[in-house]
Chain A
Amino acid sequence: MNKQNNDVLQGTLSLLVLRALEARGKMHGYALTGHIQKASADLLRVEEGSLYPALHRMEQDGWVQAEWGMTEKGRKARFYSLTPRGAEQLAIERESWERLTKGVSRVLRYA
């Protein structure tokens, strides 16, 4: 039960992360949480820590690449950016997400 929830969340999370990186370019994890929160007008809140296993898995899969850099405040942070393969993945996930929401809302409308 619990595991299933995570899976759904993780699938969505990667879509959100990929899209954020597409829109805003290179970002570190903290900025990503802020961006997702802001862009969704506070509708979506993920547990912040869960972002990191997701980011590292996406890095393993070659969707994002990471490098260490300095923030404006002079702190060392790990910055993520989209790879070409990540862009392809974003297109796929975006399409399946739209199909899913379209399907779900049709079912909901059908009475």
Chain B
Amino acid sequence: MAQWRRFLNFLHRGRVARAIDDELQFHVEERVDELMAEGLSEADARSQAARQFGNATLYRERTRNLNVPQILEDLSDDAAYALRSLGRSPAFTAAAVITLALGIGATTAIYSVVRTVWLRPLPFRDPGRIVRIWETNLPLGIHTFSASTLNYLSWCERSSSFESLVAMQGGSANLSGQGEPVRVAGMAVTARFFDTLGIRPIRGRAFAVGEDQPGRGQVIMLSDRLWRERYGGDPNLIGRAILVNGENRTVIGIVPLEVGFANDRDAWEPLTLDPSHEDRGDHRIEVLGRLKPGVSIGHAEGELRGLAAQLEREFPKTNRDWRVRMVPVLDWIVDGTTRTALLVLMATAGLLLLIACINVANLLLARASSRVQEFGVRRALGAGGPRLVRQLIAESLVLACAGGGAGLAVALVAVRGLRAILSASVPRATEISIDMPVLAVAAALTLLTGLLFGLAPAWSAARTDVHTSLRQGRGTTASSGRLRLRQLLAAGEFALATVLVAGAGLLLASFERLQSVSLGFEPRNVLTARISLPEARYSRERAQLFYRDLEAELTALPGAETVGFASNVPFGGGNTMMDVARLDDAPADGRQAVQSSWRIVTPGYFPTMRIPLVRGRIFRDREAGDPVILGAGLARRLWPDGRDPIGRSVRIGRNKPRMVVGVVADVRQLVLTDDPAPTLYIPTSWTLWDPMIVVVRTPGDPVQLASALRHAVAKLDPQQPIFDVETMDELIEANSAGPRLDTFLVGAFALLALMLGVVGVAGVVSYAVVQRTPEMAVRMALGATPGGIVRTVMAGGLRMCAAGLLPGLVGAYLLGRAMAGILFQVQPDDPAILGAVAGVLLAASLVASWLPARRIASIDPVIALRKE
């Protein structure tokens, strides 16, 4: 009944208490008046009134407690006492709060990433039924590949597991008309794409059925970002026509910022699939599907596999060994590597928090040993064991709340940084923030840590014995139980620090190997930039002339060594592939074609990238006669018998035969961790690509060349922009951004953990030093050398570390196994790395033991003994 009002009363408990005092006082005053009226003196009247009233304190308390819940009063008393008590030791409080803030801050920040990127539902209708579908060709070593358009159309016709199947294909678009012309990343999608996923345009409408038919694609959707930045968020843009690649197209809708994937796409167009113009062997579209209710992903995959086998029989030339793979859409958007990385980061942040907890528990225990007398006195004055425990837990909770508050500040800063770093490479990362669920987790963590690190000191205080604690001074032998507890905690802290340092060591080694991986070319001192010549102004001949002139202009620059052009550069994003077959005679296994990446390049590309020539020659300028150059890996695949390919012919797709004139070294093209893929080089004299990438090698800093490059282009064609100006190093760096961040974060966590571990062990050793000073003084008086005594004390510290190191290494191995998915060429039980980790921790344990131990050597036995 009206309990809530009692709790509200707590907020103005002072006023409530005063009102009760007034009411009781009134009663007494009335009584006094009456008694005096009967003739008593004021003094007599007062004592008589008090007697008649009874135990005023008791009744006042009872009345108050009826109005304000006792437990809140007690809690607020405890909190106030805790604040005073913590305020008396500011150094301890600061150390504990900072430690907790780092632990809670790191855990909260990483959790906010995990939640936003992985745990939050995708912005689709019923996302659990959406699947991502790839084609695979296991004999060719292809596990994940785009689908062939004709195969996709066959699936649409013949399968019954899906509500609908949709396709998309990345591209780009030149926007002109209003404002400066820009080139934006685009995505072409089939008409039912938005409808199938359940993505609602934030304005206007999505594509209508039929708008992806040939000749009807005169519509476009724009991203929220492009709409705001280029068109100022003008609502009247919907329904208006804009110039896209020189054609008029009507803007029909605005795509929300975070679709969950393809967030960098600004122009969304209908994908027109015209079966009469397609080749079944050309794999170029990405397929998504929505399963019918009740159809399992396994069933749907089985159906498509059956269809693939059927298509293989019908089209043996193009469909040999092509099968289908299917995963839930979330497994595609948040892939295995990202998940492993998130889990590793979450686990390491959690370990750091645990270490922080243990460290604070140890600090509290140390503090408790210097408060033994305080507790003794309070018990002697009547404070019960439970009351003392409650008081200590209140102190821990106040500490935890301060740490949690500071941790939230840490997390806010960290989240801002993580969002900036991750948004380029991780899906949905732009939405990372500290929202209510994250706050709730942070609050829960705070309370949990408070209880966790408060437990040990509270338990140890509850066992404080009044007599012994009052009789003894500070830190004597009776607290050996507490010392053992502290040793145990310090060893545990060291064990966890070992796990983290080992995790960081593995990632560091992996990252180092990633950095020193053989690329097959030399990225240093190379500048890249893209040029897209509009078809309207440049026929192929004019474009070839333009690139030749530009090459001459650039070669003449004082800062340029060599200049080349290519349809794509390593780590430039995207890939182009074709079947390449040898024509001389059928190889032993009967397989003629190899799926190979291809690049259209000028002769200057090879020296500029410093791709070594293995055999034959590179292209000649304006070379006629259809030459091609093979990567060494492709040459080996085509001629496994080791025959010299120079002078032999290959067929690329359905084109006429081409002659091999040279073989160059293999180049890593797509992902640093993958082995080089088979690659074929075609000369620009045969065909061009849009856009072409210009590469310039310079002896100095390639960035310096950027403006000269712009000027050279402007000199040839003032209207022609260049874009994506980046150094080759930057492209590679972007490719290793994930491992770099993982390594940095885990490394930072490990460093903090190691510091906390050292502080923890040093604290316990230094406590032992204080305790054992009289004993050591006696030993020294009896002739022990200072060095021997330091060694004795240090041995204690080292034993603690050793006790932590061994289980820590086991934990490290387990963490390493869990990390295997993000390790490159590093085994989790790599003896060299684990040995180095053990070495680092041994060095740390020496420091942790020596720092406090060396003090004991400077003891003057006489003074120390006199103090006793």
Chain A residues proximal to chain B, CB less than 8 Å: 28-30, 33, 47-50, 52-53, 56-57, 60-62, 71, 73, 75-78
Contact = CB atoms under 8 A, between A and B. Distances in A.
A47 B54 contact: yes
User: Chain B: interface secondary structure?
Assistant: helix
Contacts of B58: 49
Contact of B54 (A29, A48, A71, A73): A48
Contact of B66 (A60, A73, A76): A60
Nearest to A33: B27
Contacts of A78: 19, 22-23, 26
Contacts of B52: 47-48
Contact of B30 (A47, A60, A75): A75
A57 B66 contact: yes
A30 B33 CA distance: 12
A49 B55 contact: yes
Given A56-B63, A60-B1, A60-B2, A50 B54 contact: yes
B377 interface: no
Contacts of A47: 52-54
Contacts of A30: 26-27, 30-31
Contacts of B781: none
Given A47-B53, A49-B53, A62-B1, A56 B67 contact: yes
Nearest to B29: A75
Nearest to A48: B53
B23 A52 contact: yes
Given A47-B53, A48-B31, A49-B58, A56 B66 contact: yes
B59 interface: yes
Interface string B13-39: 000000110111011011101000000
B26 A77 contact: yes
B62 interface: yes
B56 interface: yes
A78 B21 CA distance: 11
B67 A49 contact: no
Contact of B56 (A33, A49, A56, A57): A49
A49 B66 contact: no
Given A47-B52, A48-B54, A52-B27, 17 more contacts: A30-B26, A30-B27, A48-B31, A49-B24, A49-B55, A49-B56, A50-B59, A52-B62, A53-B59, A56-B66, A60-B1, A60-B66, A71-B30, A75-B26, A75-B29, A77-B26, A78-B19
B13 to A, nearest CB: 14
Find the residue from A53, A71, A76, A77 having the highest chain B CB count within 10 A. A53
Nearest to A28: B26
Nearest 3 Cβ contacts at the A-B interface: A49-B59, A47-B54, A53-B62
Interface of B: 1-2, 6, 19-20, 22-24, 26-27, 29-31, 33, 52-56, 58-59, 62-63, 66-67
A62 B63 contact: no
Contacts of B33: 73
A77 B23 CA distance: 6
Contacts of A75: 26, 29-30
B122 to A, nearest CB: 52
29 contacts: A29-B26, A30-B30, A30-B31, A47-B54, A48-B54, A49-B24, A49-B54, A49-B55, A49-B56, A49-B58, A49-B59, A52-B59, A52-B62, A52-B63, A53-B59, A56-B67, A60-B2, A60-B6, A61-B1, A62-B1, A62-B2, A75-B26, A75-B29, A75-B30, A76-B26, A77-B26, A78-B19, A78-B23, A78-B26
B618 to A, nearest CB: 96
Contact of B22 (A48, A62, A71, A76): A76
Contacts of B20: 52, 56
A71 B52 CA distance: 22
Nearest to B3: A60
A62 B3 CA distance: 12
B600 to A, nearest CB: 88
Contacts of A57: 66
Nearest to A73: B33
A49 B54 CA distance: 6
A33 B49 CA distance: 13
Contacts of B56: 49
A29 B2 contact: no
Contacts of A62: 1-2
Nearest to A75: B26
A26 B22 CA distance: 19
B58 to A, nearest CB: 7
Contacts of A49: 24, 53-56, 58-59
Contacts of A50: 54, 59
A47 B53 CA distance: 6
A49 B61 CA distance: 11
Contacts of A60: 1-2, 6, 66-67
B62 to A, nearest CB: 4
Contacts of A53: 59, 62-63, 66
Nearest to B56: A49
A57 B62 CA distance: 10
A71 to B, nearest CB: 8
Contacts of A73: 33
A52 B698 CA distance: 94
B63 to A, nearest CB: 5
Contacts of B59: 49-50, 52-53
Contacts of B55: 49
Contacts of B19: 78
A65 B6 CA distance: 15
A77 B54 CA distance: 20
A46 B53 CA distance: 9
Contact of B27 (A48, A56, A61): A48
B376 to A, nearest CB: 33
Contacts of B67: 56, 60
A28 to B, nearest CB: 7
Contacts of A77: 23, 26
Given A57-B66, A61-B1, A52 B24 contact: yes
A49 to B, nearest CB: 4
A9 B54 CA distance: 15
A28 B27 CA distance: 9
A49 B27 CA distance: 9
B587 to A, nearest CB: 95
A78 B67 CA distance: 15
Contacts of A61: 1
A61 B2 CA distance: 8
B554 to A, nearest CB: 90
Contacts of A56: 20, 63, 66-67
A62 B2 CA distance: 9
A72 to B, nearest CB: 11
A29 B29 CA distance: 12
A19 to B, nearest CB: 20
A13 to B, nearest CB: 13
